[in-house]
Structure formats: C-alpha cells, structure tokens
C-alpha cells in the first residue's frame, strides 16, 4: 500500500479546475446508455468508480468509446436494448454504481449478479432493495438482500410512493430510475432535499418527471433523448483545497468551472458561517442544466459552529474535510445527524476521530457524529485511510497545518474519485 507524507505549508496559492463531478459522471453514462441515439459526454471523470459504471454498461452491450481527454461517446441501447452480461458485474468500491444500477436493472427482463470489493460488500443496500422489491423486482443476497453480492431479476414494475428518510440521493435515484419503466406513477418524498442531479438529468433527456418542493413524481417513459453534455467540476473534490486555503494565512485560491448546484453548496455556506473569506459567483451560461461558476477563497481564522439538521444531506461527502476545519477552528464544534457516515467506504466517524486524535487533535465520537475541540495546529503523526478516499485526502490537508508531517497510509483509494488530487495539492501548496 502506498503512503503519502503531507508536510507543513505556508499557504495555498493559485487557481485550478477540479475534475469532473463524480455523481454527474455516473448518471451521464447511465442515462446516455438508456437513451435512443448517440450521446457525447465531455469532462467525464476518469476515476475508478465512474469507470466501473462504464464497464457495467459495456458488459450489457452498450457501445462506449473514450476519445480525447475526458470525452466519451455513447451509442444508447434504448430501454429494450440492454443484454444480460455473461459474468457477474464487479463494481469495485462504487456504492453509487451499485445502488443506481439496481434501479435500472429492476426494469430489465434478465438476471444479473452485482458484486464489489470487501468495502462495498459490507455496505447496507436494503434501503434500495426493499422499495425495488415492493415495486416488483426480484432481488436476493446476504441478510435478506442487504449486502452484495446481489442477484436481481427485473420485470414488470408497479409505481409506488416512497418516503426517503433520511434523505439519500442514491436511494431516491434508484427508485426514480426504476419508475421510468413502471406502470403508474412513482413518487418519492423527502424530509429535506438531497442532491438533485438525477432529477435534473432526467428532465434533460425528456423523462416525464415533475418536481414540487421535496416531492418528485415520475411516470413511465417510452424513450429518452440522446445528449451532448459537459460535466461540471466536482465541488466535493474541490472542497479539500477550499478548506486548505481557508485554514492557511495568506492563502488565495480561485476555483474555476466548478458545479454550484444548490443541493451541493452546503460546504460553501458552512465555511462562510465559520468565518471563511469565501465568495462564489455563477457563470452566465444559458440553458445550463447544472449551475457552474467560480469560488474565490482566502485564508482566515475559522470559528466553530454546529453542523446538523437539514444541512447534513447537502454536505454528507464534505463532512470529513469539514472535521479538519473544525479541528483547527476556535471553540467546540458539534456534528450531529450524520449517522450515514458510519456506512460509507469506512466508518468515517470512527476513522476521522481516531485520526484527529492521533495527530494532536481533540475529538470524541458520538453515535451520529462527533464533538471536536479546536487546537492551534496539529502535532503530526501517522494515520490510516482504511481504504477511504475522503479520509485519505482529508488528512493530507491536515498535514499542511501541522508542526511535523502527517503520514497517510493507503492512498491508492484516492483514485476512486480524484486521481489528480496529489498533483493539484503539490501544485498549489507553497512550503
């Protein structure tokens, strides 16, 4: 396993464009594969998770060609053109691939086995498999279809009304994708709004979807339209360098062409509330399905705030790096309502609290979050990523604000979402 030594830095300075959004890259491949006609996707994220989705559709007979940097051409199969793969589909570490594919495969008249690595096979899937079974899909697997490998046989589905609580974009997306071919209406309600990339892209490809507040309704579609689409930069990836710039005095960082979807900018709002010098502006691009813009951030002293409630679904992926920000902010920070972190690539509450304490931070676990007391800077030390890309990247940022270096063990996992992370970190860090 590779390791990375993160050394103290004076500031973060410069500008960069983050890689293509991982969530949107997954969905673009899926919907283009189901569309009628040829789609072109630009700025596709060439990370392992997204490539697993691409490989899954190739295994089901979809023609996908990777052209020049970041561009993919997909000849859609239509709803009825997918073929049964000859072997189980290995989705590696990608929970998004597995959960959303379950929704798509629930509509197909063949049997598929979905597998993954040890981490993915330990993540619960029943929040997806239970409503899909209710719609009429046949799904089996360990612990009553709660863990992979999962065998799914699709067929005739009936629309349902589902309460998505706690709000999860992956659960919602799987049900909506199944609803594309179900009889009657499929309705998903949420207590608060999770990220809405699936709804936006379904509208873009012509699906009969209607949104009213936190309720989404979809009806059976006969065809989807091919698309030409540019994936915006990933705000969740950009968040690591945002926090790095916010924490180091004299930093000045400009992030360009980054997605600013309202359901994803919780990280910007929380950093602003913590006292960060941060501004964001939208690009004036007409007919843009996803808002894109620029984020400008300078170094400042942060202060602690509570992070809880309706904010959590809007920054669930950013909580690990926000824990680094909290650990160097003035005062005591409390994160609650984030129990979902325990069933990510690793138990992120445990991995982050353990890691913070190992490098001179002060943190305490709670069932659904943690308490973090701010320190002036970290002392340095060694942490383990546990195969979690966001844990690895978060502690790479921690080392910039440390008396002595921080060594992060097992960094290969970063390739699942941000293969160019260490290059960008070295380019922007001034020692």
- Segments of the chain with pLDDT less than 50: none
Longest alpha-carbon distance in the chain: 61
Given this model, what pLDDT does residue 382 score? 97
Rounded CA Rg of the chain: 21
Domains and CATH numbers, the chain: 3-16+262-272+303-430 (3.65.10.10), 22-230 (3.65.10.10)
DSSP classification of residue 18: P
Interhelix angle 95-105/126-135, rounded to 10 degrees, is: 10
Given this model, what pLDDT does residue 328 score? 98
Given this model, what pLDDT does residue 47 score? 94
Given this model, what pLDDT does residue 395 score? 98
Kindly list the strands in the beta sheet with 332-335, ordered across the sheet, starting from the edge strand earlier in the chain.
332-335, 369-373, 362-366
pLDDT in tens, 117-147: 999 999 999 999 999 999 999 999 999 999 9
Given this model, what pLDDT does residue 412 score? 95
Q: Is 404 designated active site?
A: no
Q: CA separation (Å) from 191 to 168, 216, 311, 312, 359? A: 10, 12, 12, 12, 37
Burial of 60 (0-12, 13-18, 19+ CB in 10 A): buried
Give 188-214 as a DSSP string.
Answer: EE-SSPPP-HHHHHHHHTT--EEEETT
Give 132-149 as a DSSP string.
Answer: HHHHT-EEEEHHHHTEEE
Q: Which two tokens stand for residue 105?
A: 């495969």
The active-site residue, picked from 48, 317, 388, 410, is: 317
Q: How far apart are CA 418 and CA 83, in angstroms?
A: 31
Measure the CA angle with vertex 106, ends 103 and 107; round to 5°: 105
Query: How crowded is residue 164: how many other Cβ atoms within 10 Å of its Cβ?
Result: 23
């Amino acid at each position: 396993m590779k390791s990375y030594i993160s050394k103290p830095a004076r500031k973060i300075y410069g500008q960069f464009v983050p890689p293509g959004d991982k969530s949107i890259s997954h969905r673009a491949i899926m919907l283009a594969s189901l569309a009628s006609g040829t789609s072109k996707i630009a700025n596709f994220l060439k990370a392992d998770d997204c490539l697993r989705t691409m490989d899954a559709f190739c295994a089901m007979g979809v023609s996908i060609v990777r052209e020049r940097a970041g561009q993919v051409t997909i000849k859609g199969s239509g709803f009825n053109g997918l073929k049964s793969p000859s072997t189980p589909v290995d989705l590696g570490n990608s929970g998004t691939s597995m959960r959303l594919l379950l929704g798509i495969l629930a509509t197909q008249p063949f049997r598929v086995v979905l597998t993954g690595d040890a981490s993915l096979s330990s993540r619960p899937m029943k929040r997806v498999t239970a409503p899909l079974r209710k719609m009429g899909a046949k799904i089996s697997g360990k612990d009553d279809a709660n863990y992979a490998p999962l065998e799914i046989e699709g067929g005739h589905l009936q629309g349902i009304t589902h309460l998505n609580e706690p709000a999860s974009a992956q659960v919602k997306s799987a049900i909506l994708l199944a609803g594309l071919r179900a009889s009657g209406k499929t309705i998903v309600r949420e207590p608060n709004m999770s990220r809405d990339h699936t709804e936006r892209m379904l509208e873009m490809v012509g699906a009969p979807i209607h949104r009213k507040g936190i309720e989404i309704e979809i009806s059976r579609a006969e065809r989807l339209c091919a698309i030409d689409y540019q994936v915006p930069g990933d705000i969740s990836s950009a968040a690591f360098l945002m926090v790095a710039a916010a924490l180091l005095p004299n930093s000045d960082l400009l992030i360009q062409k980054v997605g600013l979807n309202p359901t994803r900018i919780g990280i910007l709002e929380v950093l602003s509330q913590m006292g960060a010098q941060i501004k964001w502006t939208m690009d004036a691009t007409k007919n843009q399905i996803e808002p894109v813009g620029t984020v400008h951030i300078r170094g400042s002293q942060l202060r602690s705030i509570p992070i809880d409630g309706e904010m959590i679904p809007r920054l669930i992926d950013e909580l690990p790096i926000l824990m680094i920000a909290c650990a160097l902010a003035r005062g005591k920070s409390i994160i609650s309502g984030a129990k979902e972190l325990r069933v990510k690539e690793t138990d992120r509450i445990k991995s982050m609290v353990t890691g913070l304490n190992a490098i001179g931070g002060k943190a305490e676990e709670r069932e659904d979050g943690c308490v973090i007391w701010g320190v002036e800077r970290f002392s340095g030390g060694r942490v383990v990523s546990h195969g979690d890309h966001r844990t690895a990247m978060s502690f790479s940022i921690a080392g910039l604000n440390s008396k002595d270096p921080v060594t992060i063990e097992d960094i290969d996992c970063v390739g699942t979402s941000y293969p160019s992370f260490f290059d960008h970190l070295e380019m922007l860090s001034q020692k």
